[in-house]
A and B are shown apart, each in its own frame.
Chain A
Amino acid sequence: MGVSEEIYKQFFAKLLEDSTFKKSFIARLRKLADEGQINQETLRTLIEAQDSNESKN
């Protein structure tokens, strides 16, 4: 496994341990990472979307 992959693996493992983050949120973040699309804007959209989903639920 490459170093980048190992770092992402550890990163997502840490997030999964944290109940603040829903699995669907982590799945979307993982998709962004796979596509090389993690930046301020995409992260902000993702974080704000979780709020909007929570308020709907």
Chain B
Amino acid sequence: MKARISTININAFRGIPQLEISTERRSLLIKGDNGTGKSSIIEALEFFFTGTVSHLEGTRGISVARHGPHAHYTTGDVKIEISFDPGDTVLSRTMARGPSPNKSLQSYFHAAATGTFVLRRSQILKFINDEPADRYSAIANIIGIEALDSVELEMQRLRDDVKSEVDAKLENINDLLVSLSESLGVSISSFDEVLPALNRKTNEYGFPSLPTLDDLEKYNQNLYKKIKKKAQGLDLAKNLEELLLLLHPNLIIEERLERLKEFGAKVATLVNSKAKSTMKLLELLNTGKDIIGTDASTLCPLCGQPIEKDPLLSALESRIETLTLLSNEASALRQDYGLVDKDVREANGKLDQILSRITSQEGFSRLAESLNQESQFLTGFLESLARSKDLVEPLPTEVFNAHYSELTSLLERARQQAEQDLQQIGLTEDEKRLLNFTGILGVVNEKKNAYQSLKLKHETKEKQYGRAQKIYEAFSSAKKSEIHQIYAAIKDDIQIFFNRLHPGEETRTIQLDIIPTRRASTQLLVDTLGLNQQDPRGLESEGHLDSLGICIFFAFVKKFNADIPLMLLDDVVTTLDSGHRHRLAELLIKEFSEKQLVVTTLDNIWYEQLRAAERVHKRENEFKHIEIVGWDLETGPRILDYKPAWESIDKKLNSGDKFGAGNQGRSYLEWILKNLYEQMELEVRYKMPPLYQVGELLPPAKSKILKMIADDPFEKRVNDSFLELEGTSMMPNLLSHDNPRAEELAIGEVRIFCDAVRNLHLTFSCPACGSFLRYFRALGLIKCSNEECEGFLRIKVRK
């Protein structure tokens, strides 16, 4: 026998403070208006099996941890407890700990954790109406691979970043060769050409050739010592020479400044388009908010579904951000970033070198101060660059230009002063020539060391890029290939289901596939009305689109979730017409007869059609029907004919949960009153909605029953039971506005109320079997309603 759910016990989750539903292995058909907590039941089941609620995750600012607990409870109060049959296994999930299924339930849980068993109307809408990227996202949600998208994105971003680092290192190397060419006065295209070029230079100056570049530093030191013996003030002159070499070229060459400008323009375009989209969406939301705001409704004016404005806005912003970051432009921008970051970083490095020389030089203190400020600006600008790469803000290019212009002017002043100071030292022409030569040797030596280090780093980065690229490609292609296979595997079922829902209509061929050139995109096309490969949104009615979405889900469930004996459908038929709903009911009852279904709906016709399909296929005993007649934050969904278990109330009383116990006690009293009116045939005057409340029904029930009874001991017991209840501290609240306000009471007072409610129930229960007593008009007496009961209780009734 396959495992099935026999009891669902929900505590402090979403819109439900406490609710116990006994399914007795049957499927559940739940009817209720918008905002009555139907979806909370579905969410509790999803949370129990998966530890999450899919539509609460993946959106910034929304999570199960934050939005899972009921508004009056904390994370620690959340508990979903489910009993399974056979085996009478009871498992629970809290926020901190998941269920530990035994061996017989392990495959059920594994399949539920990895597969698809929940369909919501929002998913259908998203699937059909959105762009390929969003449609893919809906499928990813259905087949449970949303998390893999972010993994893929992380891989892609790492690849982009490492690629940018490789490009930056390569450009550094090329810059070094350009710099060496300038120093040696010949064009050098590879590092192997440096030694021959340097030796030509040493020979020009009348010095011997160097065998290798390894000895360059020592060679230069010896030469410098020789010159220093003859010349005065050579150290100062050397420092000034080196300073002049640093001051000679621009900090950033013209074409790289242009590159920085282009980068800034790209950032501005992307940030601007992002802002425009956000503005449009905000406009849309604000319009909706204005419409809803007039009657403070939380329902969408278009589809009548409950909406939460803040999470919706957050979801849209998050969607814009993800799509913007995913776009090819954003990817290219991330790759360009490495080069511009390198340019600014190099400029700042060079400025630091200049500053370290200027600081030790007399007469440069004011210049040093100004240059130091510009260096600080460049450091801050590097942070702006990093933020602009992620499109957090535009790049302040104009501010940079102003600072760079000031910096160029300061450097020119430094150069003039250095030349003037050097002139004043009074070296001979020969000394100047030799000093210039040792300067060249120094520069070549410095560049040689830098080159060797960079070459090594570049090779390492190349390897890392190769790996990052391979990892991304392997993951991306595995994902595309698997999803392609999934689509191919379910294509026939989608078609079959769709034809069954739409018999005798124009033939449609449905195609579903990934877009190979794009990351995370899915196209949905139909051949219909003589046209091939058409976007269904252009040709199909909203009802057809909805049923197409449902068929796709059914195909997914049939193909991939055979191991999950559970399927949850949350309000999925809003736009289907009656004929199609009827066929959908038939399809569901026949095709998924092996599954335990939980179907919620606000639609009375669909509810009745499903019940009719149950009867036609002789499966009415396999379904339990629940009607939710109201909801409020304190009590949660108010289910017609709902009686909380006394054990549950007692447990809450013992644990000090006066709020939970008070609410359940009230639900218990509602159930007793409903039964009293029905079983005792008490007349109730017709009243326009809203429904009668406890406080309105209790006094007339007492008065009518006492008038009926002609048995003194029972009359006394009934009177005492009602008096006991009326005397409790909670009753004034119930009588006044149907709100127990249990938080103002002591736990002892709540217990007195609950005990009185229970006593009232016991008064009207058969002492032999516990069934509710019933008035038998023809017999003129009250006795047990259970025909099989052998109890002897008989209570006379006045004529």
Chain A residues close to B by CB (< 8 Å): 1-8, 10-11, 14-15, 18, 20-21, 29, 33, 36, 38-40, 43-44, 47-48, 50-51
**Contact B478 A7, beta carbon cutoff 8 Å:** yes
B contact residues around A14 at 8 Å (CB): 474, 477-478
* Residues of A with C-beta under 8 A to B143: 3
**B464 cross-chain contacts in A, Cβ below 8 A:** 47-48, 51
- Chain A residue nearest in CB terms to B468: A47
The reply to whether A43 and B144 form a contact with Cβ atoms under 8 Å apart is no
Within 8 A of A (CB), among B448-496: 460, 463-464, 466-468, 470-471, 474-475, 477-479, 481-483, 486
Contact A7 B471 (CB under 8 A): no
**Nearest B-chain residue to A55, judged by Cβ:** B460
User: Shortest CB–CB separation between residue A27 and chain B, in angstroms?
Assistant: 14
Interface secondary structure of B, over-half rule: helix
Which of B151, B155, B463: most chain A Cβ within 10 A? B151
- In the complex, the answer to whether B475 meets A4 with C-beta atoms within 8 Å is no
A2 and B114 form a contact (CB under 8 A): yes
**In the bound complex, how far is the Cα of B57 from the Cα of A36, in angstroms?**
15
A18 vs B478: C-alpha distance in the bound complex, in angstroms?
15
Total contacting residues, chain B, CB less than 8 A = 33
Contact of B474 among A4, A5, A11, A33 (CB under 8 A): A11
Picked from A11, A29, A36, A44, the residue with its CB within 8 Å of the CB of B147 is A36
* Pairwise interchain contact B471-A15, C-beta atoms closer than 8 A: yes
- Distance (whole angstroms) from the CB of B150 to the closest CB of chain A: 8
Complex: chain A residue closest to B476, CB-CB: A11
Closest 9 A-B residue pairs measured CB to CB?
A: A2-B114, A10-B478, A14-B474, A11-B478, A39-B154, A40-B158, A3-B143, A7-B482, A38-B151
Chain B neighbourhood of A39, CB < 8 A: 151, 154
Measured CB to CB, the closest approach of chain A to B602, in angstroms, equals: 32
Query: Is B145 an interface residue when CB atoms closer than 8 A count as contact?
Result: yes
For the A-B complex with A18-B470, A50-B467 known, give 20 more contacts whose Cβ atoms are closer than 8 Å: A3-B143, A3-B145, A3-B482, A3-B560, A4-B144, A4-B147, A5-B114, A7-B148, A8-B478, A10-B481, A10-B482, A11-B474, A11-B478, A21-B467, A21-B470, A39-B151, A40-B161, A43-B155, A47-B468, A51-B464
Q: Is there contact, CB below 8 Å, between A40 and B114? A: no
The contact string, 1 if C-beta is below 8 Å from chain A, for chain B 62-84, is: 00000000000000000000000
| B481 neighbours in A (Cβ, 8 Å) | 10
Which residues of the partner chain A approach B148 to less than 8 Å between Cβ atoms? 4, 7
Q: B472 to chain A: closest CB distance in Å?
A: 9
Closest CB-CB distance, A31 to chain B, in whole Å? 14
Q: From known contacts A4-B114, A48-B464, A51-B460, infer whether A43 and B471 are also in contact, taking CB-CB under 8 Å.
A: yes
B118-145 interface (Cβ within 8 A of A) = 143-145
Chain A residues, Cβ within 8 Å of B474:
11, 14-15, 18
Residue from the list A2, A11, A47 in contact with B467, Cβ < 8 A: A47
Chain B residue with Cβ nearest A13: B478
A27 vs B559: C-alpha distance when bound (angstroms): 31
Which residues does chain A contribute within 8 Å of B161, judged by CB atoms? 40, 44
A28 to chain B, nearest CB (A): 12
A-B contacts, 30 of them at CB < 8 A, read A2-B144, A3-B114, A3-B144, A3-B483, A3-B560, A4-B145, A4-B148, A7-B478, A7-B479, A10-B478, A10-B482, A11-B478, A11-B479, A14-B474, A14-B477, A14-B478, A15-B471, A20-B470, A29-B471, A33-B151, A38-B151, A38-B155, A39-B151, A40-B161, A43-B158, A47-B162, A47-B467, A50-B467, A51-B460, A51-B463
**Alpha-carbon gap, A53 to B598, bound state (A):** 54
Chain B residues within 8 Å of A51, by CB:
460, 463-464
CB B337 to nearest CB in A, in angstroms, measures 14
Most chain B CB within 10 A, of A2, A6, A10, is at: A2
CA distance A18 to B477 in the complex (A): 15
Distance (Å) between the CB of A40 and the closest chain B CB? 5
Residues of A within 8 A of B144 (CB): 2-4
Specify which chain B residues have a CB less than 8 angstroms from the CB of A20 in the assembled complex. 466-467, 470
A43 near B470 (CB under 8 angstroms)? no
Residues of chain B within 8 A of A21, CB atoms compared: 467, 470
Instruction: Give bound CA distance, A35 to B349, whole Å.
Output: 41
The minimal Cβ–Cβ distance linking B512 to chain A, given in whole angstroms, is 15
- Whether B475 pairs with A11 at a CB distance below 8 angstroms is yes
Alpha-carbon distance A11/B472, docked complex (angstroms): 10
A1 to B: closest C-beta gap in Å: 8
Task: Tell me which residues across on chain B come within 8 A of A5, comparing CB atoms.
Answer: 114
Which chain A residues border B470 with CB–CB below 8 Å?
A: 15, 18, 20-21
Q: How distant is the Cα of A39 from the Cα of B158 in the complex, in angstroms?
A: 8
Distance, CA A1 to CA B249, complexed state (A):
63
User: Is B151 a contact partner of A40 (Cβ separation < 8 A)?
Assistant: no
Query: B713-725 vs A: 1/0 string, CB under 8 Å?
Result: 0000000000000
* Closest residue on chain B to residue A29 by CB atoms: B471
Q: Which residue of B lies closest to A21 (CB)?
A: B467
Centre residue among A15, A40, A44, A51 by max chain B CB count within 10 A: A40
Measured between beta carbons, the chain B residues less than 8 angstroms from A6 are: 482
Among residues of B, the one whose C-beta sits closest to the C-beta of A17 is B474
With the chains together, A20 CA to B161 CA distance in Å? Answer: 20
Shortest Cβ gap from A4 to chain B (Å) = 5
Q: A10-B481, A11-B478, A14-B477 are in contact. Are A2 and B115 (CB under 8 A)?
A: yes
A54 CB → nearest B CB, Å: 8
Closest A residue by C-beta to B456: A55
Contacting pair A3 B486 (CB below 8 A)? yes
A20 to B473, CA, bound (A): 14
> In this assembly, does B432 line the interface, its C-beta being within 8 Å of a C-beta of chain A?
no
B471 to chain A: which residues have CB within 8 Å?
A: 15, 29, 43
B157 at the interface (CB under 8 A from A): yes
Point out the residues of chain B lying under 8 angstroms from A47, CB to CB: 158, 162, 464, 467-468
Q: Point out the residues of chain B lying under 8 angstroms from A33, CB to CB.
A: 151
A3 neighbours in B (Cβ, 8 Å): 114, 143-145, 482-483, 486, 560
B residues in contact with A10, CB < 8 Å: 478, 481-482
Nearest CB in chain A: distance from B406 CB, A: 37
* A7 to B475 CA separation, bound complex (whole angstroms): 8
Residue of A nearest to B556 (CB): A3
